[in-house]
Amino acid sequence: MSMAVVGLIAGMALGFAGYFGGFGAFLLVAALGAVGFVVGRLLESDMDLGDLFRSRDDRRR
Domain hosting residue 28, numbered range? 3-60
Q: What is the pLDDT of residue 61?
A: 54
Q: In 3D, which of 28, 59, 50 has the Cα closest to residue 36?
A: 28
- pLDDT classification of 4: cutoffs 50, 70, 90: confident
- Among 20-24, 29-33, 34-38, 44-48, the least confident range: 44-48
CB atoms within 10 A of CB 17: 20
Helix, strand counts (H, E) of the chain: 2, 0
pTM, two decimals, is: 0.64
pLDDT at residue 57 tops 70:
no
Q: Into how many domains does the chain fold?
A: 1
